[in-house]
Amino acid sequence: MSDTSDASTERYSGDVRLAGSHEAPVGLRGAADVFVGPDGVAGTLRLADAEYVYTDVVPPGDGGNDPTESAPDAATEVTGDIEDGYVEGATGDVVIRGVEDVFVAGGAAEAIDPAGAEQVFHDGAATPTADPAGYDVTVTGWDHTRDARDPRDGVSVRGAKNTVEVTEGKHDLTVYVVGWDNEVRIEGRGVDATVFFVGRDNRVSVGPYVSVTTAAESGFDNVVDSDPVPPEAVVQTSKEEAHADATIGRHRITWQEPAPDKDWCPNCGEDADAVIARRQKDALFLFGTAVRTYDDGGVSYECERCSRHVAGDVALDADERRDALR
């Protein structure tokens, strides 16, 4: 443990932000949670005393320093009645003591020494290809709400209890969540979302026309949910529409209707959310009512996996309309 008797002590209450205004090395002591952002520490982040650490900076045990090496003497000791700490631009080493959870974003420090942490959660399966600090939707802090329409590259959330809702998404997204109890909702069409979790109890949910993959999870109890495709998305023509088009005379009509009793598709054999029954009728009609039926045509099935028609929930652009009519 570093001797801080010669350090300049600064006392704060509430949340505190370390952003380069404190003489380094900086000691941060007594916060509930600490969130370290990308490029947050221009040196080594040392965890002298923490309960849980969530990080995708380096694997546990591969920190940039010998775990037996003592932390440097702090030039500035930040303490007091602190709730959460946000480290976003420290100019040298940072030593964290007496905290509960520490959430360390990718690219946060030159190295991390987690020797003083009780448990470290790290998943090195993948890291974002672009720096989350440059995403066009970024939220940092506690209990913020943000709405975003069709972001172009990514969504970054750092903190706790934040909510981000993405609507009308048309571009592939990287979702980078650092902290706990954050929620991201993505609605759109033809979007691939890649999710990275650094923390716990976070949730990312997507609409039925968005595909989602968890690339890495440095933590636990994080959830990714996908809404099922509704049967209406596979229906081209309802029974009412088909009969309405048959006015007077003999017509062969075709329509589709949901098949809620089917949890797998009899056509392709796959588990499916949106199984529909395709029906047809050859009949003599009078103002949409069949007065004589020649052939009921039987029934066939299809689903969102094998149907050539799966409608999205947003309007098609001009190119998409031309493609759909070919």
Query: How far is it, in rounded angstroms, from Cα 183 to Cα 163?
Result: 5
Select the more confidently predicted residue: 307 or 173: 173
Average pLDDT of the residues in 184-211: 95
Select the more confidently predicted residue: 44 or 133: 44
pLDDT interval class at 69 (50, 70, 90): low
Query: How far is it, in rounded angstroms, from Cα 183 to Cα 181?
Result: 7
pLDDT above 80 (res 283): yes
pLDDT interval class at 92 (50, 70, 90): confident
Match 């706790």 to its residue by tokens. 160
pLDDT at 313: 46
Coil, strand or helix: which one is 324?
Answer: helix
Length of the chain measured in residues: 326
Which residue from 46, 45, 47 is spatially nearest to 117, judged by alpha carbons?
Answer: 47
Give me 177's structure tokens: 């969540």
Give me 99's structure tokens: 């905290």
Torsion of CA 71, 74, 80, 81, to 10 degrees: -40
- 102 in Cβ contact with 54 (< 8 Å): yes
Handedness of CA 20, 23, 26, 27 (dihedral sign): negative
Query: How far is it, in rounded angstroms, from Cα 34 to Cα 75?
Result: 20
- 216 in Cβ contact with 105 (< 8 Å): no
pLDDT above 90 (res 33): yes
Query: How far is it, in rounded angstroms, from Cα 35 to Cα 161?
Result: 13
pLDDT interval class at 18 (50, 70, 90): confident
Which one-letter DSSP state was computed for residue 133? G
- 89 in Cβ contact with 184 (< 8 Å): no
pLDDT interval class at 321 (50, 70, 90): very low
Which one-letter DSSP state was computed for residue 267? T
Query: How far is it, in rounded angstroms, from Cα 151 to Cα 299?
Result: 43
pLDDT above 70 (res 64): no
- What is the tens place of the pLDDT at every residue in 120-165? 999 988 888 888 888 999 999 999 999 999 998 899 999 999 999 9
pLDDT at 238: 87
Q: What percent of the chain has pLDDT over 70?
A: 88
Amino acid at the residue 154: G
pLDDT above 90 (res 204): yes
Query: How far is it, in rounded angstroms, from Cα 26 to Cα 47?
Result: 12
pLDDT at 290: 87
pLDDT interval class at 72 (50, 70, 90): low
Which one-letter DSSP state was computed for residue 70? P
Mean of the per-residue pLDDT values for the chain? 85
